[in-house]
Amino acid sequence: MVKEFVLEIFRYDPEVDRQPSYREYFLELTKGMTFAQALTEIKQKQDRTLTFRKGCGSGICGTCAVKINGNSFLLCKTKVKELLTTYKTIRLKIDPLNKRAVIKDLVIDEDYFWKDIKKISPWIRSNNDISADLSKIEKSSDCIFCMCCTADCQVNQHDISFVGPAAFVKLHKFVFDPRDSSKRIKKAVDQGLWKCAHMYNCMDQCPMNIDPAEKISDLRELSIKKRVSHPGQKHAKEFLDSLKQYGNLDEKRLVRKTVGLKGIKLLGKSLKMALKGKFKDINPRQIKDKGEFRKIIQEVENE
């Protein structure tokens, strides 16, 4: 078993430092040591200037999330030995969740995150019976707003108009709460419901095992049922239409149905691709029992 390990920690005090840097700390691994314990030891014994957030120490307040080797984790819930084993190393790198929002070292200004949460109007609008069945929203109610999912969502990093997985988990809670009577789904589409790229980082990083991607899928399914028009909805629907017609996807029709003629403009490289023969022979392969298969699909659809 490794006894010594090194943490390379992001350090930046905007009031003093010209630019961020990394500082190395050498530590001894103790049994069951968490990253919260490791950072506390550094603070107590090696460097009192190191700044990080620490709360309940029990994985429930959502305060202490940071990035370790590029992924978001709660300091208090994550064991040092586990990640040393995963990365087969004695050296790990710790960063703040968002380097653009650093107040000092690992502490960030969370305003941007809470602004996104506020956008989905996180309160019940209702006069309905309080004794309603809430089982459907049990899981989404577990969110501790630790920001791990949103911090690891690449779409959120590139497009600030996408409110992010945590906000959609919160929205899921109100949309599927039988007591809530407000119409939220159209607004969800405006807030970027179809921007999720299905990368599932949020699913892996959620310390509460909520599966934010699944909650986004639930909301998308509802938006399709409610016929909230969006290219993403047309895109998803084509998979069902193609399946029923051929058994496999009609790629040409998928592009046409999703973006229409705009597709040619959007796919700026279309001509180059066409010249390479990419669009040749892309007719869907038809399955032999497509008629019978269609019948059982329709039965399932009508249930």
Partner 1 sequence: MSKFAFYPGCYSEGFAKENEVSTRLICSKLDIELVDLDFSCCGAGNLNEVNPSVNLLTNARNFALAEKQGLDIVTICSTCLNVMRKAQRELQDKSKFEHINSQLQKIGLHYSGKVKIVHLLWALDLKKIKSSLVKELKGIKVAAYYGCHALRPKEEGADDPYNPTTFEKLIKTLKGTPVDFPKTKCCGFHTALTYPKTSIAMTQEIINEIDADLICVICPFCHTMMDAYQKTNLPALHLSQLIGLCLGFSKKELMIDRNLIDFKRKLD
Q: Which is nearer to partner 1, 207 or 247 (CB)?
A: 247
Counting contacts by CB under 8 A, is residue 65 touching partner 1? no
Residue selected from 6, 107, 124, 297 as contacting partner 1 according to rule CB under 8 A: 297
Q: In what order do the strands lie in the sheet with 71-74?
A: 21-28, 4-11, 91-95, 65-68, 71-74
59 φ/ψ angles, rounded to the nearest 5 degrees: 70, 30
Counting contacts by CB under 8 A, is residue 155 touching partner 1? yes
Binding pattern for the stretch 275-294 against partner 1, x by CB under 8 A and - elsewhere? -xxxx-xxxxx-xxx--xx-
Report which of 9, 1, 201 is spatially closest to residue 92, judged by C-alpha positions. Answer: 9
Q: Which stretch binds partner 1 (CB under 8 A): 2-10, 38-46, 56-64, 258-266?
A: 258-266
Residue selected from 119, 170, 195, 215 as contacting partner 1 according to rule CB under 8 A: 195
Counting contacts by CB under 8 A, is residue 212 touching partner 1? no
Report which of 52, 58, 34, 155 is spatially closest to residue 95, judged by C-alpha positions. Answer: 52
CA dist 200 and 206 (Å) reads: 10
The answer to whether 36 touches 54, Cβ cutoff 8 Å, is: yes
Q: Which stretch binds partner 1 (CB under 8 A): 9-17, 38-46, 54-62, 201-209?
A: 201-209
Q: Which is nearer to partner 1, 153 or 166 (CB)?
A: 153
Counting contacts by CB under 8 A, is residue 6 touching partner 1? no
First to last CA, the chain: 56
In order of 124, 160, 249, 264, the CA distances from 253 in angstroms are 41, 31, 9, 13
Which tokens sit at 222?
């509802």
Determine how β-strand 71-74 pairs with β-strand 65-68: antiparallel
CA dist 30 and 32 (Å) reads: 6
By rule CB under 8 A, what count of residues binds partner 1? Answer: 69
Q: Which stretch binds partner 1 (CB under 8 A): 43-51, 104-112, 150-158, 163-171?
A: 150-158
Q: Which stretch binds partner 1 (CB under 8 A): 26-34, 63-71, 107-115, 122-130?
A: 63-71
CA dist 63 and 57 (Å) reads: 9
Binding pattern for the stretch 17-56 against partner 1, x by CB under 8 A and - elsewhere? ----------------------------------------
DSSP single-letter state for residue 79 = B
Q: Which is nearer to partner 1, 124 or 203 (CB)?
A: 203
Give contact residues for partner 1 (rule: CB under 8 A).
Answer: 69-71, 83, 86-88, 154-155, 158-159, 162, 194-201, 203-204, 217, 220-221, 224, 231-232, 235-237, 239-240, 242-243, 247-249, 251, 255, 258-259, 263, 266-267, 269, 272-273, 276-279, 281-285, 287-289, 292-293, 295-297, 299-301, 303
